[in-house]
Amino acid sequence: MPVRRVRYKPALNSQCLCGSGLKFKRCCFGDNDVACGKMTDFARDLMIRKDYRTALKYVRHGITNYTILHKTNTAPYITSNNEGVMWLLDIDIKALTELTESLLDCYRGLNDYQSFEYDLERLRSNISDVRWQRKITYFQVIASLGDHWSEKVGRREVKKLMPLDEESDADIIQLYLHFCSDDLPFKRNIDILERLISLIEKPSEKLQYTVVKAIKYLCIGDESESEKLIEQAIKNYELTDWSSDNSYGHMQHALAISLLADLKHSAKLKVQSIQEFEALLENHSWTDSGIADIHFEIGKSLFHIKKFEEAIEQYRKSLEIENSEIVKVFLSQAQIELNDEGAICTIREVEKNLSELSESELLDYIFTYAAIGIAFKQKDMIEKSLGYLSEASLLAPVFEKQKSKLVSEISLLYKTGELEGKSNLLSTLKRLFGLTTRYLILQPNIAGLGVNINKIADDLASESNKKKQSDE
């Protein structure tokens, strides 16, 4: 006998299901049969036009309407443990997660993470399943990070999601790895990455995280395993319909090709990656910081094939758009190659803002600083670099080995003052250039959120615009 389900009706005076904190009758009451998909479509269009205030109303309405569906069709039957109901519950969690992402987009546009946090707490009761509870906590961590993902805040907040042993939520694992990967022992890192890669559905993200796994192998000095992994990951990605993937996917591809080029010492692959980065510049409307990033990548690739002047040109383009200390570090490396004493000036500028460098960027700075001191016979810089090196912490095994050797060689050089015997040391240092950022900076980041929040968001908006035009 078919069961006639009684439609769930929120009380008019109860708190609205959208999390706004208002009474239902003053918030999302009315139009409660309209499909949430429609609501999010309206909201997307408004967000593209940057009308986040109105978009927020539609997203909220979508959340309310979906929650009514959940409370009508799924929630009353969860205790039955019926397979079909469990399947519905999965879908409900996914759907409300997507709606909550849109809610985040609105609040990000309004620059109001505080209200987002309040809403989230009220949304906890929409689904009484532990996975939803963890998802809410995940969003709260994202909210606490705001626009500038501070490592300190991230490491502290992400503890709220521990332990992760049973975690099957790819977003949560990505967030955890983003902040904690460098502190984990090798085996644990690989285990979590493998679990994550098996959970990920998007080909571009599979590529991204397989590259991260490959970098972990690089950090323990296993270049051949690393190369194998990257090659296979690129192949797998290219087997998908990747030409129609979004620019985020193309960016991952270009980065993977660039890294493979390093490992294979292949100028041909480097040229390919440069071409792909250049195509990204032409075909997509990135934000300014997105464009600055791509020029930086092109510069690094040009450096690698010894086109130092062109590399400098790209670094300068990047710096014109957005000031960045790490780009200056790379700029000074290219200046050393051209025997340009301007390198001293460039690196001293960075010296004034060391707090803006991340831990891995700081390593690049230190190697570069030492190299400039030696190349241009700056005794005070050589002395200072010794201090930097001995203070540097949290090095991957591959650098830890180099570090003690470097310290003793630079000390010797400093004591004897025999700067003529410097060429070996200088080439050791040069080999380390860029290695650290290449090895360490390509850490996990959250697809669509990540470090370059604004870059990705604008990019996706412009793409959905394009898609719309082609649909019409």
Instruction: Using the minimum distance from each CB to Zn ion, give the nearer residue, 59 or 370.
Output: 59
Task: Name all contacts of 219-225 with Cβ < 8 Å and 24+ positions apart.
Answer: 219/186, 219/396, 219/397, 219/398, 219/439, 219/440, 220/186, 220/396, 220/397, 220/398, 221/397, 221/398, 223/263
Q: Are 25 and 9 in contact (CB under 8 A)?
A: no
In the complex, least distance from residue 472 CB atom to Zn ion, rounded to whole angstroms: 32
- The SS3 assignment for 31 reads coil
Instruction: Using the minimum distance from each CB to Zn ion, give the nearer residue, 65 or 324.
Output: 65
Instruction: Using the minimum distance from each CB to Zn ion, give the nearer residue, 27 or 362.
Output: 27
CA distance 157 to 177: 13
In the complex, least distance from residue 370 CB atom to Zn ion, rounded to whole angstroms: 59
- The terminus-to-terminus CA distance of the chain in angstroms comes to 45
Instruction: Using the minimum distance from each CB to Zn ion, give the nearer residue, 56 or 142.
Output: 56
CA distance 64 to 71: 10
DSSP letters of 255-275?
A: HHHHHHHHHHT-HHHHHHHHH
CA distance 391 to 397: 16
445, 458, 472, 439: which is closest to 216 by C-alpha?
Answer: 439
Instruction: Using the minimum distance from each CB to Zn ion, give the nearer residue, 112 or 337.
Output: 112
CA distance 298 to 311: 7
444, 435, 440: which is closest to 262 by C-alpha?
Answer: 435
In the complex, least distance from residue 22 CB atom to Zn ion, rounded to whole angstroms: 6
Instruction: Using the minimum distance from each CB to Zn ion, give the nearer residue, 28 or 302.
Output: 28
In the complex, least distance from residue 464 CB atom to Zn ion, rounded to whole angstroms: 25
Cα dist. 176→138, 195, 201, 202 in Å? 10, 13, 18, 19
In the complex, least distance from residue 147 CB atom to Zn ion, rounded to whole angstroms: 26
In the complex, least distance from residue 171 CB atom to Zn ion, rounded to whole angstroms: 25
In the complex, least distance from residue 262 CB atom to Zn ion, rounded to whole angstroms: 52
- The SS3 assignment for 16 reads coil
Instruction: Using the minimum distance from each CB to Zn ion, give the nearer residue, 18 or 127.
Output: 18
Instruction: Using the minimum distance from each CB to Zn ion, give the nearer residue, 29 or 388.
Output: 29
The pair phi, psi for residue 165, each rounded to 5°, is -55, -35
In the complex, least distance from residue 73 CB atom to Zn ion, rounded to whole angstroms: 20
Positive or negative: CA dihedral 212, 259, 208, 442: positive
Instruction: Using the minimum distance from each CB to Zn ion, give the nearer residue, 20 or 100.
Output: 20
Instruction: Using the minimum distance from each CB to Zn ion, give the nearer residue, 27 or 344.
Output: 27
Chain residues in the site for Zn ion (CB under 5 A): 16, 18, 20, 27-28, 60
Instruction: Using the minimum distance from each CB to Zn ion, give the nearer residue, 27 or 274.
Output: 27
The pair phi, psi for residue 115, each rounded to 5°, is -60, -35
In the complex, least distance from residue 62 CB atom to Zn ion, rounded to whole angstroms: 10
The pair phi, psi for residue 23, each rounded to 5°, is -70, 145
In the complex, least distance from residue 119 CB atom to Zn ion, rounded to whole angstroms: 10
Phi-psi region of 26 (alpha: psi -120 to 50; beta: other; left: phi over 0): alpha
Strand partners, 15: 23
Residue 103, CA atoms < 13 Å, CB-side half-sphere: 28
104, 99, 16: which is closest to 52 by C-alpha?
Answer: 104
Which residues are within 8 A (CB) of 248 and not within 5 positions of it... i.e. 6 or more apart? 204, 447, 448, 456, 459, 460
In the complex, least distance from residue 44 CB atom to Zn ion, rounded to whole angstroms: 19
In the complex, least distance from residue 60 CB atom to Zn ion, rounded to whole angstroms: 5
Q: Tokens 């929630």, residue?
A: 75
Instruction: Using the minimum distance from each CB to Zn ion, give the nearer residue, 28 or 446.
Output: 28
Cα angle 252, 257, 262; round to 5 = 125
